[in-house]
Chains A and B, each alone.
Chain A
Amino acid sequence: MITLKDVSKIYQTGDVVVAALQGIDLQIEKGEFVAIMGPSGSGKSTTMNILGCLDTLTSGEYVLDGTNVAKASKSELAEVRNRKIGFVFQGFNLLPRTTALENVELPLIYAGVSGRERKKRSLDALESVGLGSRIDHKPKELSGGQQQRVAIARALVTSPSIILADEPTGNLDSRSSEDVMSIFQRLHAQGNTIVLVTHEPDIAQYTRRIVRFRDGKIEADEAVKDPRIAVAQ
């Protein structure tokens, strides 16, 4: 359902040309749980941004659910992000001064879902990440792990084709990290497609497949032999 074919991304800043990605071929099926690993600057975030339709590619093809997204307009890309992609960021990226519930409602507002339905779906999403009792809290009143769970609720509230998480546990301690990974594992068990970037081998062991990047190329792509089970506290 996701196919990258010979994808390259070249950044040019003044005279400096950086080939962030060089001929990436990657296929991710529906229901997969993939970890992307690799040294700093190897092109992991660039790949995630392209998968998430936040960035356009320099050459190659990106087919998402049967459509070639590489040729889409800005407004079509916004719609794809809204309908098919759920983002989780390292820095949470919740709107400040806005309650957890309202943060989760946001993508539904842009999708044009009306009031009552929107609230119901957002409550369900918050419930599923274990924050049913914190819906009226603002981000600064929540711990890092709780904020990341709100962000996960926001990512899954639209029932996207794929959930993308760029270092979702990068700002969390090991306890909160395991909480977050247990949520991802449950979502995976429910049939969601999840791609996450991580530096930590432990975290990668919770997934089912590891893709290793080096210098803008895929170095290795293997299944996780013995996936760990994350236990929520």
Chain B
Amino acid sequence: MNFLESLRIAMRALIANKVRSLLTMLGIIIGVGAVIAMVGVGSGASASVTSRIQGLGSNLLTVSPGQSSSGGVKGGAGSSNTLTMSDVTKIQQQAQFVKAVAPSAGKSVQVVYDGANTSTTMTGTSQDYPSVRNITMATGRFFSQTDVQTGTRVAVVGPTVVQDLFGSSNVNIVGKTIKLDNVPFLVIGVTASQGSSGFFNADDMIYVPITTAQDRLIGNKYVRQIFLEATSANDMTAAQDEVTTILRRAHGLTGNTPSDFQITNQADILATMQGVTQSLTMLLGGIAAISLIVGGIGIMNIMLVSVTERTREIGIRKAIGAKESDILIQFLIEAVVLSALGGGIGIGLGYGGSLLASKLMSMQATVPPSTAAMAFGFSALIGIVFGVFPAKKASALNPIEALRYE
């Protein structure tokens, strides 16, 4: 008997029991749907995290004060004041693998303009900040080296601040004077919107020259963080080593003395984040795989019931000349059609689910075709694995006993 005939017979049997067939498929539908949705959402989340971390600045290294070594009770990063402007100058002058350096010292400030007021974060930095942190201007300009050297009272504001002060971000604020903690500053530019990165909102920010910030707003000469842009992605490690050496020498640290600063590599953060999303995806995928197996057991269960119910039919088929292999293939096809059809429907639902999720979470969920193909293949395989036992049982029935079965 040829395969097409077997397929036809199997399909008829499944259609004869539509509701049962659908319920049997449900396990596989849910399992495959979950796998596809997980992979879609997982890859979308990972892509959006990656792009946001890269949006913080390309080839970015961050130097923070504080001891990097573990053990004992030591202050966390950023808790001590060990970085100064002279460190910044030394890195600028000596480091070969560093393209640009931008210090930062910040504080939360009260912003007042014409009676309206809001609070935001003020960051004192240098003219290189936009290049290091991938910041572009919407209107006006960023402050210059001269502004930093002379300590002028100029400010560059983020779009959220404009929104908060005026109730709309379409207001031209350039050329107006705002007060930060009662100190008047001339607004010279507005940054382009970057969106929130999850860690901090670059749009809700006011930038002023670091010298002005230290003198007028913070009241000390320390630097909170130094942002470095490495010459290229391949030079990240070299730049990190180089800056470590320069700063240790500058701080007079020798031998085994632990460093009083620490350098975070953007690539490290990226790797960590990707590792986290990856293991999350794996975990969810594992749960989904288990539900697939449960679905397979459901198929086996129903197939066993079906074999018992159709004992007489099997007896008739054998009496008129069906071989054991004919019966085996017939029942195996039924199981595989159930699981593969369930897999197909599951892929459709999972895909729809991940599209919905990407709409709701505003990210790009993608399901690679290879994953869909694999999910489909896996569900078909489950049909074979869990279908073999019932099919074997059916094919091994003794025809005389099967015919006598009531």
- Chain A interface residues (CB < 8 Å from chain B): 49, 52, 54-55, 74-75, 78-79, 81-83, 87, 89, 93-95, 97, 106-107, 109-112, 154, 158
Contact at A87–B400, with CB atoms within 8 Å?
no
A137→B313 CA distance, assembly (Å): 18
B151 at the interface (CB under 8 A from A): no
Contact at B400–A54, with CB atoms within 8 Å?
yes
The interface centre, meaning the residue of A74, A106, A110, A158 with most chain B CB atoms within 10 A of its CB, is A110
Residue in A closest to B315 when the chains form the complex, CB atoms: A93
Among candidates B2, B321, B400, B403, residue contacting A82 with C-beta atoms closer than 8 Å: B321
Among candidates A52, A87, A95, A158, residue contacting B313 with C-beta atoms closer than 8 Å: A95
A8→B2 CA distance, assembly (Å): 38
Among candidates B322, B399, B400, residue contacting A110 with C-beta atoms closer than 8 Å: B322
Contact at A81–B320, with CB atoms within 8 Å?
yes
Among candidates B16, B321, B322, B400, residue contacting A49 with C-beta atoms closer than 8 Å: B400
Residue in B closest to A79 when the chains form the complex, CB atoms: B321
With known contacts A95-B313, A97-B16, A110–B325 Cβ distance under 8 A: no
Contact at A54–B319, with CB atoms within 8 Å?
yes
Contact at B325–A87, with CB atoms within 8 Å?
no
B122 CB to closest chain A CB (Å) equals 80
Residue in B closest to A91 when the chains form the complex, CB atoms: B403
With A95-B313, A111-B321, A154-B320 already in contact, 4 other A-B pairs whose C-beta atoms are closer than 8 Å: A54-B318, A78-B318, A81-B318, A93-B316
Residue in B closest to A75 when the chains form the complex, CB atoms: B323
Contacts of B317 in A (CB 8 A): 106, 110
Top 9 A-B pairs ranked by shortest CB distance?
Answer: A82-B321, A78-B323, A107-B320, A110-B321, A81-B321, A93-B316, A75-B323, A54-B399, A110-B322
B residues 307-345 touching A (CB-CB < 8 Å): 312-313, 315-326
A82→B317 CA distance, assembly (Å): 10
Contact at A74–B324, with CB atoms within 8 Å?
yes
B73 at the interface (CB under 8 A from A): no
Contact at B1–A93, with CB atoms within 8 Å?
no
B residues 1-44 touching A (CB-CB < 8 Å): 1-2, 5, 16
24 residue pairs of the A-B complex, CB under 8 angstroms, read A54-B318, A54-B319, A54-B400, A74-B323, A75-B323, A75-B325, A78-B321, A79-B321, A81-B319, A82-B320, A83-B321, A89-B403, A93-B312, A93-B315, A95-B316, A97-B16, A106-B317, A107-B320, A109-B1, A109-B5, A110-B320, A110-B322, A110-B323, A112-B1
Contact at A87–B324, with CB atoms within 8 Å?
no
